[in-house]
Amino acid sequence: MAVVSTPATLERAVPVMDNAEVLRIRNDFPVLNQLVNGQPLVYLDSGATSQNPVSVIEAEQEFYEQRNAAVHRGAHHLAVEATEVFEDARQTIADFIGADYAETVWTSNATEGLNLLSYSLSNAGLWAAQGRGDQGLKGLALKPGDEIVVTEMEHHANLIPWQELAFRTGATLRYIPIDDQGSLRMDQAAAIIGPRTKVLAFTHASNVLGIINPVQELTALGHAAGALVVLDACQSAPHLPLDVKDLDVDFAVFSGHKMLAPTGIGVLYGRQELLDILPPFLTGGSMITTVTMERAEYLPAPQRFEAGTQRISQAVAMAAAANYLTETGLDRIHRWEAELGQRMVAGLEGIPGIRVLGPAAGKERIGLAAFDVEGVHAHDVGQFLDSQGIAVRVGHHCAQPLHRRLGLTATTRASAYLYNTTDDVDRFLEAVAGVRAYFRA
């Protein structure tokens, strides 16, 4: 099941991770074994970009050393091998999220996946009006009077593409508000999601609040209204077991660089029956069946959405990253990160002048914590921590509306992963405890 248990109800059927195992895992990540400003590096910015284990680095290097060629285009030996490892990587990622092979589309990142989807939906109306494509496109086309629903906690990548889709089609963008603790107002969600809703898009886990949203409850509301349900899984796919079929979403996106893979690679999942009828987003070579001087016909998914030279080495490396996470055990990783997250929040709540966003200590959250230090700007907090070898994220974390709702312009965010220890968290907390005194706040 992809439903996440609370810390109190987590099963103990599999071995629990501990600091000794994490230290062994840490040895797989070369970048972590260095000094920053004379201090051992404590990397607590995996919510932005994770680090890469040796197996992922070697997978990409091995491709360039042994198989570098264009995929789907050549009949020579290297081209055949490149195509095989590229498509094997697709199958690995499909298995990783419980999807089918043809439902997994390579993108540059999750942001591109969401833009791909929003532009394809806006083109659905144009194609339907011209009698082009499948008749099912009429049901996907948006028009004035239709509504797109998001949440107040969304990352800009899952907000702006829907703003622009509303602009292009005349639809109305609405949002589910949060309460003062950052939780979705589910009582209002049931009233906002209705017969006019054509798209419901929301994050699985907030990159600021650490909250894990009730995916199946929201999906049920969306499907009852006849809406397409789009899941931003950027902060969930790397950290907890994810089964898109079990969650029953229509589309989902996530990025490789947040799950131990290189930058420049991401995934769009979509139900095959939907992907096969949606108009393509980017056009050109490798995604066509027939081209004349007047028009083109397009392949079914996933190639339908993969124009041009592909991200071959990155895809191979992303598959290696998925294998690394699977072999470690995503349920174990989630349990360990939940423990680190609780340790962070409990520690931060005990420091005077600190306001932690999201669930309080003891409440379910992923392994990150964003916080405000009274009287000290987030950028100053980040620089102070960096001087002690501790890497965190500062700013609005691409979630300005959320920060505005909570009365803030910026926060500091610490985000843990499978290579962080309790000592990392304790060093972080000790440093944060000295921030206000250092700046005489």
CB-facing half-sphere around the CA of 435: CA atoms within 13 A: 30
Rounded to whole angstroms, how far apart are CA atoms 301 and 21?
41
One domain for residues 100 and 20: no
One domain for residues 165 and 23: no
> Which H or E element spans position 168?
helix 160-169
One domain for residues 261 and 307: yes
Query: Which residues in the chain land under pLDDT 70?
Result: 1-14
Angle subtended at Cα 399 by Cα 393 and Cα 400, rounded to the nearest 5 degrees: 110
pLDDT of residue 14: 65
One domain for residues 249 and 164: yes
Rounded to whole angstroms, how far apart are CA atoms 141 and 136?
9
Does 1 reside within a domain?
A: no
| Of 248, 153, 162, the residue nearest 198 (C-alpha) | 162
Rounded to whole angstroms, how far apart are CA atoms 33 and 31?
6
Q: What is the CATH number of the domain that holds 212?
A: 3.40.640.10
Q: What is the pTM of this model?
A: 0.95
pLDDT in tens, 210-220: 999 999 999 99
398 in active site? yes
One domain for residues 99 and 222: yes
Q: CA 134: distance to chain centroid?
A: 30
Does 2 reside within a domain?
A: no
One domain for residues 149 and 273: yes
| Catalytic residue (one of 79, 346, 398, 408) | 398
Does 428 reside within a domain?
A: yes
Rounded to whole angstroms, how far apart are CA atoms 358 and 344?
12
One domain for residues 313 and 228: yes
Does 398 reside within a domain?
A: yes
One domain for residues 412 and 308: no
Q: How many domains does the chain have?
A: 2
User: Which range marks the domain in which residue 416 is found?
Assistant: 7-52+329-438
One domain for residues 342 and 425: yes
Does 61 reside within a domain?
A: yes
Domain boundary among 326, 355, 377: 326
